[in-house]
Amino acid sequence: MAAAGCSVLGSDDGGDAKGGGPSFTVAAAGDVLIHPPLTEQAAKDSKAKGGKAGSLDFGPLMAGVKPVISKADLAICHMEPVVAKKGGPYEGFPNFQVPPEITTTLKDLGYDTCSTASNHSIDHGEAGVRRTLDALDAAGLKHTGSARSQAEWEKPLIMDVKGVKVAQISFAFGFVRNEVPADKPWLANKTSFKAIKEAEQRARKAGADVVILSIHWGREYQSAPSTSQLELARRIAKDTGINLVIGHHAHVVQPMEKIGNTWIAFGLGNQMARHEVPNGQSEEGAIGWFTFTKRGGEWDVKAQYLPTFVDVPPEPEDPEQPDKLPAGAVRDYRLLDPAVAVKEGASPDGTKYSDEQLARYRLAFERTQGTMLNRGAIKDGLTPLHELPE
């Protein structure tokens, strides 16, 4: 991404204001998992804007994070599901196939690259991997974690970020429906410490100055990191040169922790998803914001976070009248920055938020903040990107 102009969110001169060396910012967010109700919302939003029958527009759904994502020098998304052919068929759990239009929305938000290793990477076999990566290519998004050939797998993803060579690698603990074929292990990266370390070494050999690991791990709906997450995180921090670890899969926010000199974001929750039974936390997520500055030949990383929240409309009492909802009810799925929502008190179109909505946004921010800090990260300087208004 081209460097942003003057902003509290980023640097614009390639250096640190306090006299350090090269500097750049990274934004990373949680799972993008498009369940069928979100596709229905995209159809509704497209129709409202005069789109053709059958067209989809995920832009209004996710626009709430664009002001932050678009400011990062490098913005990283996690594309969990398989991408379908344009027009479908589309599927939800357990064999995800989602509209390719989501990839163009991610690009428009400001994302530069997506990790693609997840437990759903091979829901539809090799053909699904190809469709997903082809769609990301068409949208102008880089990707890593799955591959269409051994040659593609062997070439590390290295991006020039304000003159710094930044590599991204991506791994998943395992797969829901299928195993990776023995003769095509490159279709999706399966987690092992050995494989992660070898991927970092390939990236370093190819010239990477910084290596970022995206990893699909942990236990679903558990806000505390599992024992295996903690053990692997400690080993990565101690025995590799990986500069940052970005975790996914739990669908709820998990803490950040600095282990040695390495920041671990154990789990960033959902960026966008709609689980059938929200547990109150699956609507919440976080964007990790990391400022890299080279000092004394080493990379210093400052970590921050931005809570996010997905507004979920209630189920209609009458399925025959899906638009008939109680007065004051949320009408549309929308991804929000809770602090901005509380500050503004109204949506971008001027619709005032109810007291109940504002209270929910405060809860999302405060609960995410509490989770982020519950492994002692405050002592290492972890702060919110902006504060919740009084």
**DSSP secondary structure string for all residues of 60-112:** HHHGGGHHHHTTSSEEEEEE-SEE--TT---B-TTS-EE-THHHHHHHHHT--
In angstroms, the CA 27 to CA 69 distance is: 6
User: 10-residue block means of pLDDT along the chain (390 residues)?
Assistant: 39 51 96 95 94 93 97 98 93 91 98 96 94 98 97 97 98 88 94 98 98 97 96 98 97 97 97 82 96 95 98 76 71 95 92 92 97 97 94
Nearest to 74 by CA among 164, 187, 195: 164
pLDDT (0 to 100) of residue 350: 87
pLDDT at 278: 62
Tens of pLDDT, residues 125-176:
999 999 999 999 999 999 999 999 999 999 999 999 999 999 999 999 999 8
> What six digits make up the tokens of 272?
């966008």
Q: What whole-number distance in Å separates Cα of residue 202 and Cα of residue 243?
A: 15
Q: How far apart are CA 191 and CA 134, in angstroms?
A: 24
| Distance of alpha carbon 246 from alpha carbon 264, whole angstroms | 6
- Characterise 39 by phi-psi region: left (phi > 0), alpha (psi -120 to 50), beta (else): alpha
How long, in residues, is the chain? Answer: 390
94 preceded by a cis bond (ω within 30 of 0):
yes
Q: Looking at this protein, which amino acid is placed at residue 228?
A: S
pLDDT for the residue 267? 98
- How many CB atoms are closer than 10 A to CB 315? 9
Instruction: Give yes or no for a contact between 45 and 99, defined as CB atoms under 8 angstroms apart.
Output: no
Per the listing, tokens 């095509």 go with 184
Question: What does each C-alpha distance from 59 to 44, 108, 158, 200 come to in angstroms?
Answer: 12, 8, 28, 34
Nearest to 292 by CA among 112, 111, 159, 164: 164
Claim: this prediction has a pTM higher than 0.85? yes
The distance from CA 208 to its chain's CA centroid, rounded to whole angstroms, is 22
What are the start-end ranges of the H helices in the chain?
Answer: 36-48, 59-62, 66-69, 101-109, 125-139, 150-154, 193-205, 227-239, 338-344, 355-373
Supply the pLDDT for residue 2: 36
Taking the C-alpha atoms of residue 246 and residue 212, their distance in angstroms, rounded to an integer, is: 8
Q: How far is CA 66 from the centre of its chain?
A: 13
pLDDT at 13: 43
Q: How many CB atoms lie within 10 A of CB 51?
A: 14
101-109 helix and 125-139 helix, angle to the nearest 10 degrees? 40
**Non-local CB neighbours of 215 within 8 Å, separated by 6+ positions:** 170, 171, 172, 191, 196, 245, 246, 247, 248
Rounded Cα gap, residues 84 and 80, in angstroms:
13
Task: Give strand pairing partners of 171.
Answer: 215
Both tokens of residue 144? 């890593």
